[in-house]
Chains A and B, each alone.
Chain A
Amino acid sequence: MDYESFEHDVLVIGAGGAGLRAAIEASTAGVSVGLVCKSLLGKAHTVMAEGGMAAALGNVDDRDDWTVHFADTMRGGQYLNNWRMAELHAQEATDRARELEAWGAVFDRTKDGRILQRNFGGHKYPRLAHVGDRTGLEMIRTLQDHGIHQGIDVHMECTVIELLKDGDRVVGAVGYDRERGRFRVFTARAVVLASGGIGRAFKVTSNSWEYTGDGHALAYRAGADLMDMEFVQFHPTGMVWPPSVRGILVTEGVRGEGGVLRNSEGKRFMFEDIPELYQSSTATNEEEGWRYTQGDKKARRPPELLTRDHVARCIVREIKEGRGSPHGGVFLDIAWIKKRLSNGEEHIKKKLPSMYHQFKQLAGIDITQEPMEVGPTTHYVMGGIRVDADSQMSTVAGLFAAGECAAGLHGANRLGGNSLSDLLVFGQRAGKYAAAYAKEQIATRADADQIEAVARRALKPFECGSQGGGDSEGPYQVQYDLQDMMQAQVGIVRREEEIQKAIDRFGELRARADQVGVQGNREYNSGWHTALDLPNLLMVAEAVAKSAIVRKESRGAHFREDFLEKDAEQAKVNTVIRCGADGEMQVTQEPLSPIRDDLKRIIEDNK
């Protein structure tokens, strides 16, 4: 089998915020770094992040510090978070934000010239460093422009299909370049997975094409533990119309600037259902909510800025009970602020330029004049590869993970803004520890038999295609069927029987995926690429379903219609997934480690 070989000390798989930051850190530590990405450099899903990066800089409200950020993150995660990760994240996010500025990032400014911070759901004080509504682009571009001068070898448009192991250790990876379809073998002394999320397993999603759960599947097949896979975040506000844009994100920042949610009766339905945990910190009337968004420190947040899981469920309730908008959503209205601000129209265009542009261009709606129709969309996965909080190493030696594909920081529900800071904090740690680990390892050779097996499996769709002729099933239909099934059976509102229906179908879907055929040759063959993504999608979907069925309670983003309350016993466990010796998926529930007393006190003080 023909392939190109590359040797690096550290191999980073994924070039979004976490991957780039890890690669930069490893390179700074003096080891050789290879960075593999499925898309072109600088075009990872990170570009879509709009809201901002949460860091307790205290530039807008000096009452803020890391302890409050920590408490907010734990509360949002319903205390299922890895508290050590939450502690490190809150402490180190400020340094990472300032470092980004030192590398050329240009955030919006306060009046006295410091980094401006905005309000966001679940954060007590205005905490999100941002630039307009394109902070993700700013972050990835800054990292890219800094990273290209660090001597990192970038392998663009290259997809990894399997990790290589030597005994218990990960020692490299096999991939293919999308352009020519040639196989590439990477040997490395440490591997960092930074491959993002799993949104493409669902029909309505804000996630880009790349998000097929590759890192999760690679880690699982290499023997690593996955954790918290039942916690999939459905962002409350995605576009719903026209069909071609369904799922595309409408940033929480719209609500942060004063946008309100209304049902078909014109009522602000969020006021009717404020959870107990948040009652003391939420406004009780519209006036107070408005003042909060305009920076009044004595006001409390409007209910539209409660956590995403709660807002999403309220929206689903309104739609189900017949009070939704014409195309199956609810109304998000920012145009109304013109009644309060004399330059309202300009203000909206200035603070939310890409929202204005997106709605104008794709839906023909001017958000300064009329409300938007929005509804929940699959947005983020809190679960992922289980890692050690300090080093980001997984349960497999030599394999690290950071960013969305790693689990623990966000618990049962992620706060907006905490992902961009997550990428930098844990990307830096993964890079640092992967480099240190690599320095202590001897290089190994890749196992030719392992590589052969991987390559043979990868070429199977061409065999199926030529044997079956026009009769073999193509990969797209299998993908659509999986997406429809997950949307319906394992979506925002879950029930035992529905999830079981999904679990029962995985065998059939896997068999179909195994036999899909593609035509043509290996050069930029999108059908072939999709066929290769299918096993990963199926694996993560099954992990989500099997975790969702064992957690018999509702907590954070995981909502069980048949178990509406939180359960005290399950509050103390994480759901863990691993591959058994027989190749079958094993699901267990393992206890959280008890929280340190000083951190417990911080949480109590901030209640």
Chain B
Amino acid sequence: MSSATFRIWRGNSEGGEFQDYTTEVSEGMVVLDAVHQIQAEQANDLAVRWNCKAGKCGSCSAEVNGSPKLMCMTRLSSLPLDRPVTIEPMQAFPSIRDLVTDVSWNYQIKQEIKPFAPRQPDAPDGTWRMKQYDVERVQEFRKCIECFLCQDVCHVLRDHRLHDEFIGPRFFVYSAALEMHPLDTEDRRTELANDHGVGYCNITKCCTKVCPEEITITDNAIIPLKERVVDKMYDPLTKLLRIFRS
């Protein structure tokens, strides 16, 4: 049995500071285990959001040694334990308490995106036909566990605080999942361009790097959305055809 020190941020929206806690560590432990131990033995009121402890619910997002991670999927063996391990809340969202942040903005944004609008059923029994290869891409997007690590790391939100003009990588993935859904009939391209800020993404791909579900966010969702927006709004040929038609 050895021990390790964890430098955990304690505080709220008015401010706070790092506090060091030393606790025993054993084989196979993840960061969340250490946080639970500290919570049970040393700091009963340490605020941490968690639920499944298996990388499926996206609740325990935090920044470990500066990297956005799920605490339940970060093994201590992947971190240097000869110095304190820093655990901080996500920086792109307002603080509630300690490691818990206010992620409600994400829920508001989702409601502003036009929902799924399927075409008429393909078969007389009211069902549709979709081939597996038609749904593979959409299924990749729908793996998203809404951990918001991609939102946390994107400089447009994190540093430039453009929450009013930019919906962030998670919601570009959500929009792409709808736009590319074989049954969907809605067109979200105008909003993506004018209200949701798809133009702000400059392909730095930090989102793709931190996604725990390994969704290829930038290349598979955002760039295709940019291409679709360009097709509709900036392609001179399409514009010309529109003028002729109207």
Contacts and interface: CB of A to CB of B under 8 A. Distances in A.
Contacts of B128: 101, 113
Interface stretch (B138-146, B227-235, B237-245): B138-146
A179 B96 contact: yes
Q: Is the interface of B mostly helix, strand, loop or mixed?
A: loop
Interface stretch (B97-105, B151-159, B190-198): B97-105
Interface in A138-162: 138, 141, 145-146, 148-149, 156
A158 B54 CA distance: 23
A39 B12 CA distance: 20
A527 interface: yes
B132 interface: yes
Interface in A236-262: 241-245, 248-249
B21 interface: no
B142 A106 contact: yes
A91 interface: no
A137 B129 contact: no
B51 A131 contact: no
A526 interface: yes
Interface stretch (A358-366, A395-403, A565-573): A358-366
B116 A104 contact: yes
A98 interface: yes
B27 A524 contact: no
Interface in B40-79: 40, 44-59, 73, 75
Is the interface on chain B under 10, 10 to 19, 20 to 34, or 35 or more residues?
35 or more
A297 B32 CA distance: 46
A524 B181 contact: no
A292 to B, nearest CB: 22
Given A145-B115, A476-B40, A524-B96, A112 B58 contact: no
B160 interface: no
Contacts of A358: 54-55
B39 interface: yes
Nearest to A528: B45
A41 interface: yes
Interface stretch (A42-50, A420-428, A501-509, A553-561): A42-50
A362 B135 contact: no
A220 B9 CA distance: 40
A137 B140 CA distance: 13
B131 interface: yes
Interface in A516-568: 518-521, 523-528
Given A104-B116, A474-B40, A520 B45 contact: yes
B116 A103 contact: yes
A248 B33 CA distance: 14
B2 interface: no
A354 interface: yes
B96 A244 contact: no
Given A114-B129, A524-B100, A109 B135 contact: yes
B203 interface: no
B45 A148 contact: no
Interface string A471-482: 000111100000
A344 interface: no
B110 interface: yes
B18 to A, nearest CB: 18
Nearest to A179: B96
Interface string A370-412: 0000000000000000000000000000000000000000000
B44 A527 contact: yes
A197 B4 CA distance: 35
Given A39-B57, A112-B129, A137-B56, A523 B47 contact: yes
B167 to A, nearest CB: 15
A581 interface: no
B246 to A, nearest CB: 31
Interface string B18-33: 0000000011111001
Given A243-B27, A362-B73, 8 more contacts: A47-B145, A101-B128, A109-B131, A242-B28, A476-B40, A519-B45, A524-B97, A525-B47
Interface of B: 12, 26-30, 33, 39-40, 44-59, 73, 75, 96-98, 100, 102-104, 107, 110-111, 115-116, 118, 126-132, 135, 138-139, 142-146, 178, 181, 183-184
26 contacts: A41-B107, A43-B57, A45-B51, A48-B52, A48-B54, A48-B57, A98-B127, A104-B178, A108-B132, A109-B135, A112-B129, A145-B115, A149-B111, A208-B53, A209-B51, A242-B29, A244-B30, A245-B28, A249-B54, A354-B56, A521-B45, A523-B47, A523-B96, A523-B97, A524-B96, A526-B48
